[in-house]
A and B are shown apart, each in its own frame.
Chain A
Amino acid sequence: MIRAKRKTGLVFFPAFDWAISPTHPEREERLLYTQDQVMEEGLLDVPGIREYRVRPAKYSDLQRVHFCVPDEPSMATESHLISAGGCLVAADAVMKKEVESAFALVRPPGHHAMKVVHGNRGFCNVNIEAVMVEYIRDVYGVKKIAIVDTDCHHGDGTQDVYWHDPNVLFISMHQDGRTLYPGSGFAEENGGANARGTTINIPLPPRTGEKGFLYALDELVMPLLEKFEPELVINSAGQDNHFDDPITHMNFSAKGYAELNARLKPDLAVLEGGYSVEKALPYVNVGIIMAMAGMDTSTVKEPGYDKHYAPQAPDITDYITNLMGTLKDQFLINPPAPHPAKNGEIITTSKRIFYDTDMINENQDERLVRCRDCAGALAIDSHSSKGNKMMGIHIPKDACPMCQKTAEKWVNEALDNKKFHHIFLQDRTKCTYEVLR
């Protein structure tokens, strides 16, 4: 009799009635064959694997993470709420110890959704991992969490949400931003002033194979996790590094994904991208579920593997070996020095964000309190090409009195300023979200 060695929860929500557009990669068909394969394998019958029913997230779940402009209902459709809610169901299953780990096999994805949301970026509106992380923090009081993003695209949304948070270690392994959307995720992007070194980017070259991914995992990701000592590890389990994926250029496999998962042993995994709906996803997902359940995955192999998978080329191996040497030096041997600004100093930055799906440009001016005692108060002045001007003030979970006071001052200043159409106060110390204008 087979049995899961680790009790594993599965939240499956293929959203068979939702698409961005009829021919978009995010369409009804995306998880159809995955469902077929999971059902045919009989995985849900394996003792120790338990399937959970999704529930929609509430707007208040989104407000722990995002500033939705103008508001949540116009940014998050039912499908986004259910996808995020699926992650919350997975989190509950693990946190209540009903299972040892859980996989939210849901769509639509979320890792390109940033803190401020004016529309859809890279198929994402709501950052489902971040919604899950903040829920876990509020409901279960967990402090230190690591997110390992193995989607082929840089998890720029998750990076943005946790840029200033020293208690969330965000590691993204992805195809080099010089060759793929969203064009970011370089090693220099290593966290905001109060969270240096808790954002780690591993830009891998196109054609990276099983060997390269597992090497990066063993050499860098695992030691970083060991050093950070998170209470919980989350895997943003995008599946578009697959050799058959139509919109990327990597060379990963179902076996590789299963092995990566088996070594990483995430407490929670969340599906992100992956658009080889027929030739990759069914096998990758079966591999991940089995790996999470601690089952032997050596018999999981996509039918095209022998014909279409070529082992990683030597030049790629050399490149990755060098890259890991450099990154290990930057993050493990000589970790980034603290930001030089004095305690209490206000650091200002500006950035532009492009929403590819909705064709929106956004400009942000950000103020952050350099703080040695907390993640620092944060004020985001954002305006989009749709004409919306927003001020979002964020008080982090562990905010010190100084940062709380500064945030209060910023709120009053914003209220005096007629230019903002919307003013939001996200006070994570009190778990509140106020729409002030």
Chain B
Amino acid sequence: MILGLDVGGTQTDAVVLEDGHVRAHTKTVNRPELLETLGQSLDKTLAGIEPDKIQRMVFSTTMATNAVVMDNMDPAGMIVSAGPGMNPEWFSVGPSYHVVEGCMDHRGTEVMALDKSQVKEAIREMEKAGVNACGIVCKFSVRNPHQELQLEEWLGDQFGYKALGHRFSGSLNFPRRIATAYLNAALHKLHTKFISSLETTLTERGLNAPRYLMKPDGGTIRLDKSCEFPAQTAQSGPAASVMGALALDGCKGVTLVLDIGGTTTDMALVLDGLPLWVPNGIRIGEHRTSIRSLLTRSVGFGGDSEVRVEDGKKLSIGPMRRGEAMAFGGPMPTPTDAMITLGLMEEGDKDLARKAMEDIGAQLSLDAEKAAKMILEETTKGMTKAVIEFVKRINSRPVYTIHEVIEGIKIDPDRIVVLGAPAPIVAPMLEKAFNIPCVVPPHYQVANAVGAAAAKVTAEISLQADTQRGSMVIPEVGLESAIARDFTMAAAMEQAKEALFSRGLAVGADPGDQEFAVIEKEEFNMIRGGYRVGKNIRLKLALVPGLIPDCNCGGQQL
């Protein structure tokens, strides 16, 4: 049996899967303390289940996100070397941020060495500031990590955990590398403590199976390994839902996934079972990172969105949520009240819901039913508009080759999977609006928890080889090696695969899972003075998000 648990904004969903079926599912209202919430949810879900029957556990938590958003993190220092370009002071983050001289160019050639005395000064400052973790980031460190390694060595054992920029992502983006290293450093202690408490909570309940955390890229990571990459576990909720859609429905063709929550509706796209990723990285609070994430978009339309009448005639829905629907004792009319008034929902206090609709209706000179209908129409309209905008944005992403301009596939959803409590009510309305099949899979209310339970481990590596410099770098695994002048793409592919599989194993991937995707594959001849002086090879491989074998049945059994 597999346990999947997803902590949301107001409640926590959990499921137990057995032989590809949902054996149990629960919803628990969140407690102020995350561990308390987890404990309650576990007890409720596992009631009557032998703990040693659980063979795998996956958690999607809000620990990292909340710490970032509430700025509850540990003080982390930063040492940064930049060289020419944007002023590195613009990316200053945390209580003790230090720019030191030193420069690496785009080929990974050291242009200016580090100055030890400046680093010593920075160390003194960080000591004064009382930091207990440190981020180390150099520009172009993914092309040559030498300076980051040098800084790590000079810092010695001071400050405990050190977050080296090149280890988190092989992508080029210095400001995002800074933010990512900072968040990892600032979250490390907190996350480690949380993991240790979680381990205790689990062990106390006799739950000893392999444990994983959900990541925003739709994949998972082994619980203990997540301490090396704590920020990678932030904002995993939307990804859990998408993976749930994949497990419950299969998502063939071009599938738009809509998860309707209380406050927001999250959208994502899945192409023949493969969810789309964001090109650069996720934004956590104010920090733009290089942490891989599924491409999801949140719009301020949910079941509990506030409904108002503006200027005496215009209906306005969302983006604020003032609390629950009036039918559940909330303060403002909501789409949920409209659904109850129209008899589409059984739950809630019908009289309160009707009163909410009468209130809106009075302002529009309509009766309660007509007002409710209008609210649902407007909500559907808003969602429809947001979906169209979302798809349009994806289709207007820049491309850099003639081939892509000419052949560029245009994404046009041919079906919609709707999740979340109001899914069965909203789906027919969306089907009418889009004129494509709208599917509500079984267990649509807990798809997020199913997704967490079913998601397999993901990993990614980047390789860059420069045969003129005679060097190859795979930053994520800290590999830098000499290569011969006749190094080829085929050889690079072998090296990259090896690195990817070993990285995958290290973060908890199934040794049998060697299915990977080529994210980027480019090869350039370097010409100087009319002659070819070398080759520039770039590769990016990934263990892409998918379902563990038990759950990979296109929703047939679940």
Q: Determine if B527 and A296 form an interchain contact, defined as CB atoms under 8 angstroms apart.
A: no
Within 8 A of B (CB), among A292-342: 295-296, 298-303
Q: Judging by beta carbons under 8 Å apart, are B111 and A303 in contact?
A: yes
Q: Is the CB of A41 within 8 A of B107?
A: no
Q: Given A15-B402, A33-B106, A42–B175 Cβ distance below 8 Å?
A: yes
| Any A CB within 8 A of the CB of B172 | yes
Q: Please judge, given known A-B contacts A33-B107, A53-B397, whether A283 and B405 are in contact too, CB under 8 Å.
A: no
Question: Which of B34-42, B62-70, B82-90 is near enough to bind chain A?
Answer: B82-90
Across-interface contacts of B139 in A (CB, < 8 A): 40
For the complex, give the distance between the alpha carbons of A300 and B139 in Å. 14
Which B96-151 residues sit within 8 Å CB-CB of chain A? 103, 105-107, 111-112, 139-140
Stretch binding the partner chain, chosen from A17-25, A201-209, A265-273, A356-364:
A17-25
* Interface contact B111-A23, CB-CB below 8 Å: no
Beta-carbon contact of A36 and B524 below 8 Å: no
Nearest-neighbour CB distance to chain B for A279, whole angstroms, equals 9
Asked whether A35 lies within 8 Å of B525 as measured between CB atoms, the reply is no
Inter-subunit contact B173/A40 (CB<8 Å): yes
Q: Which residue of A has the minimal Cβ distance to B88?
A: A299
The answer to whether B288 and A303 touch across the interface, beta carbons within 8 angstroms, is no
CA distance A42 to B87 in the complex (A): 12
> Is the C-beta of A95 less than 8 angstroms from some C-beta in chain B?
no
Counting chain A CB atoms within 10 Å of each CB, which of B112, B174, B175 scores highest? B175
With an 8 A cutoff between CB atoms, is A373 at the interface? no
Contact with A along B519-558 (1 / 0, CB 8 A): 0001011110111100010000000000000000000000
User: How far, in whole Å, are A15 and B286 apart by their CA atoms in the complex?
Assistant: 34
Say yes or no: is A6 at the interface (Cβ < 8 Å to chain B). no
Contact at B87–A16, with CB atoms within 8 Å? Answer: no
- Chain B residues 434 to 474 lying within 8 A of chain A, measured CB to CB, are none
A283:B84 contact, CB within 8 angstroms: yes
Contact A299 B398, CB 8 Å, known A28-B524, A42-B173, A278-B107: no
Distance to closest chain B CB from A63 (angstroms): 21
B398 touches A17 (CB 8 A): no
- Scan residues 207-263 of chain A and give those whose CB is less than 8 A from a CB of chain B: 246, 254
Q: How far is the CA of A1 from the CA of B90 in the complex (A)?
A: 7
A142 within 8 A of B: no
Q: Which residues of B contact A22 (CB under 8 A)?
A: 525, 527, 532
Q: Are B173 and A23 in contact (CB under 8 A)?
A: no
Distance in Å: Cβ of B402 to nearest Cβ of chain A: 5
Q: Does A39 contact B (CB under 8 A)?
A: yes
Question: What band does the interface of chain A fall in when counting residues whose beta carbon is under 8 Å from B?
Answer: 35 or more
Q: How far is the CA of A325 from the CA of B75 in the complex (A)?
A: 61
B527 close to A27 (CB less than 8 A): yes
Which chain B residues border A1 with CB–CB below 8 Å? 286
Q: Say yes or no: B397 contacts A23, CB within 8 Å.
A: no
Could you tell me which residues of chain A, from 107 to 145, have a CB within 8 Å of some CB in chain B? none
Contacts of A55 in B (CB 8 A): 405
Contact code string B24-40 (vs A, CB < 8 Å = 1, else 0): 00000000000000000
Interface string of B159-176 (1 = CB under 8 A from A): 000000000000111111
The verdict on B409 contacting chain A, using a C-beta distance below 8 Å, is no
B408 to chain A, nearest CB (A): 9
CA distance A40 to B85 in the complex (A): 9
Please name all residues of chain A whose beta carbon is closer than 8 Å to the beta carbon of B172 when the two chains form the complex: 36, 39-40
Contact between chains at B402 and A18 (CB < 8 Å): yes
Bound-state Cα–Cα, A13 to B400, Å: 5
Contact with A along B390-428 (1 / 0, CB 8 A): 000000111111110110000000000000000000000
* Known contacts A53-B399, A301-B84; A29 and B526 CB within 8 A of each other: yes
Complex contacts, B488 vs chain A, CB 8 Å: none
CA gap between A286 and B85 in the complex, in Å:
7
8 Å CB contacts to B: which residues of A66-107? 78-79, 82
User: Which residues 30-80 of A have a CB within 8 angstroms of B?
Assistant: 32-33, 35-37, 39-43, 45, 51-56, 78-79
Q: What residues on A are CB-neighbors of B398 within 8 Å?
A: 11-13, 51-54
B86/A16 in contact, CB under 8 A: no
Closest B residue, CB atoms, query A2: B90
Among A142-186, those with CB < 8 Å from B are none
Do A17 and B529 have beta carbons less than 8 Å apart?
Answer: no
Instruction: Report whether B175 and A45 are in contact in the complex, using a CB–CB cutoff of 8 Å.
Output: yes
Beta-carbon nearest neighbor of A301 in chain B: B84
Q: How far is the CA of A2 from the CA of B175 in the complex (A)?
A: 11
Query: Is A299 a contact of B400 with CB atoms below 8 Å?
Result: no
Docked Cα-Cα span, A331 to B493, in Å, equals 61
Partner of B529, one of A28, A40, A246, A303: A246
CA distance A278 to B107 in the complex (A): 9
Q: Is B280 in the interface zone, CB < 8 Å from A?
A: yes
Q: What is the CB-to-nearest-CB distance from B371 to chain A, in angstroms, rounded to a whole number?
A: 37
Task: Write the nearest CB–CB distance from B271 to chain A, whole angstroms.
Answer: 18
Mark out the residues of chain B between 369 and 402 whose CB falls within 8 Å of any chain A CB in the assembled complex.
Answer: 396-402
Query: Are A282 and B402 in touch, CB under 8 angstroms?
Result: no
Minimal beta-carbon separation of B535 from chain A (angstroms)? 10
Nearest chain B residue, comparing its CB with the CB of A36: B106
Q: Given A32-B536, A303-B103, are A17 and B401 neighbors across the interface (CB < 8 Å)?
A: yes
Q: By the criterion CB–CB under 8 Å, are A29 and B536 in contact?
A: yes
**Contact at A29–B525, with CB atoms within 8 Å?**
yes
- The answer to whether A82 and B402 touch (CB under 8 A), given A45-B175, A45-B176, A303-B103, is yes
Which one of B140, B403, B532 lies within 8 Å of A40 (CB-CB)?
B140
Known: A27-B527, A36-B106, A40-B106. A79 touches B84 (CB 8 A): no
Taking Cβ atoms with an 8 Å cutoff, the residues of A that contact B are 1-2, 11-18, 22-23, 27-29, 32-33, 35-37, 39-43, 45, 51-56, 78-79, 82, 246, 254, 278, 282-283, 286, 290, 295-296, 298-303
Can you name 7 A-B residue pairings with CB atoms under 8 Å?
A: A17-B403, A23-B532, A33-B106, A37-B85, A295-B86, A296-B87, A300-B85
List 15 additional contacts besides A27-B527, A53-B397, A246-B529; criterion CB under 8 Å: A2-B86, A13-B405, A15-B400, A17-B403, A29-B536, A32-B524, A35-B400, A36-B106, A39-B172, A41-B174, A42-B173, A42-B175, A45-B173, A45-B175, A78-B402
What 9 pairs between A and B have smallest CB-CB spacing?
A: A42-B175, A303-B111, A39-B172, A36-B106, A40-B172, A301-B84, A2-B90, A17-B401, A53-B398
